[in-house]
Amino acid sequence: MFRILTTVLLIIAAPLAAETRVPEKQMEIQLGFAPLVKQATPAVVNIYAKRIVQARQSPFQNDPFFRGLFRDFGEVRPQVQNSLGSGVILSEDGYVVSNYHVVGDAAEIRVVLNDRREFDAEVMLADEDSDLAILKLDGAADMPYLNLRDSDGVEVGELVLAIGNPFGVGQTVSSGIVSGLARSGTATGNGRGYFIQTDAPINPGNSGGALIDVSGQLIGVNTSILTRSGGSNGIGFAIPSNLVAQFVAQARQGHERFQRPWAGMNGQPVDADIAASLGLDRPGGIVVSGLQKVSPFLEAGIEPGDVIVAVDGQPVNTPAEMIFRMSVAGLGEEVTVTAVRNGKSFDTPVRLLAAPEKPQRDRRQMGKSTALPGLQVVNINPAVLAEYGLPLGSTGVVVEDPGPFGGQVGLRKGDILHVINGETVETTDDVQQVLSGRVRVLAFDVQRGLQRLVIRFRL
């Protein structure tokens, strides 16, 4: 499936026997990148995915006026949704990387190689925030694959090739350069991403494809393009190979969800005004505005007001860049964080840990005898804060699934429940107790993002 932010990647086939370089002699110029492409394309695959989605069948769905008024009118029925994308083989035993938006939640996945061999595939690990997924080909052996390059060594101006299956027309190769590094935030439409920017043409169907350098090593995987028309405007984004390596490692360890190191910290980029107020000679870094009491950064001696400027010697200027650096290092590792306090720079080691599950989530699903059958809630802990992107100081209970009735009355996944019918709820047990009583009217005091809402309805 293609989405308005779509990116392309370049791939390379089985490990190269010799280093490939930029053409110099007349014969090499005539051949161009042909030798490199011949070696790379066998490791680039086409991916066909099917997923079952719940779609509402409404007699007004084709009417531009009444469609909005009656969006919740009509019967909900399952439908098959098809998506087309690309992928890159990363190992002889058939591990493949692609985008989450291509294969996430897929019920059936078919992978077609360049030599027309076909394999069924299973999602081993997927993460929507990073838009990455690792697949395993059933019964695969002796597969052509691409080597991963250290993406920290990629420089702006390097020649790159993008290989994928745009518009389903077949495997296609395009060339360009690395246009920018450390792209994140509003430039890509994803505040949690961190990308390599390229001007190599990228189009629908290239998602999950490969971005390779002139030595045939994989430096990135497609995820999005920046466009107003839906076509390629020469601004594409690829997920760096160093993050892909962590995904493959965790997939081999048996993780089904990507385990991202937890910072337990709020911060914002340092612009010119903030730099002036802090007495810094130039903008850059992330100013710490808050820390959880069990944050590993707090334990390492970081304080509110400090400016974090680097992780393991790599500069960080947005929270997304810092999380990327932590994710690349991996859980259980120790990174060196460089910070500035009162104009003086210092280094401190930070141990990378997963967000703790204390207190326990204590997941509760409301039964048929309750006021809202199917409503599922969990207690808020650091892991839940990170998973749902909730404000750092949030406490209480969060909606994990509103259920069929909760969704109809306006509750959403990620809503924090504070008060139900005038009673403060601090745990999932409190919610179950309130909803188990005989009530005719329900009033929820809800926090949704930075908004406080009151949802009232009659049963």
Catalytic annotation, residues: 101, 131, 207
| C-alpha–C-alpha distance, residues 262 and 268, integer Å | 16
| C-alpha–C-alpha distance, residues 276 and 273, integer Å | 5
Classified as helix, coil or strand, 43 is helix
| C-alpha–C-alpha distance, residues 105 and 123, integer Å | 9
Token code pair at residue 241: 């190979």
Alpha helices (runs of H) in 177-228, residue ranges in sequence order: none
Neighbours of 218 (CB within 10 A): 28
| C-alpha–C-alpha distance, residues 448 and 390, integer Å | 9
| C-alpha–C-alpha distance, residues 8 and 28, integer Å | 26
Answer whether 101's CB lies under 8 Å from 131's CB: yes
Task: Classify residue 303 by burial, with Cβ atoms within 10 Å: 0-12, 13-18, 19+.
Answer: exposed
Answer whether 85's CB lies under 8 Å from 47's CB: yes
DSSP string across 112-166: E-TTS-EEEEEEEEEETTTTEEEEEETT--S----PBP-GGG--TT-EEEEEE-G
Taking CA atoms, 427 is separated from 356, 362, 379, 405, in Å, by 17, 8, 6, 21
**Crossing angle for the helix pair 241-252 and 319-329, nearest 10 degrees?**
50
Neighbours of 232 (CB within 10 A): 22
How much of the chain is in helix, strand and coil states, percent to nearest 5?
20, 35, 45
Token code pair at residue 84: 């087309």
| C-alpha–C-alpha distance, residues 399 and 414, integer Å | 5
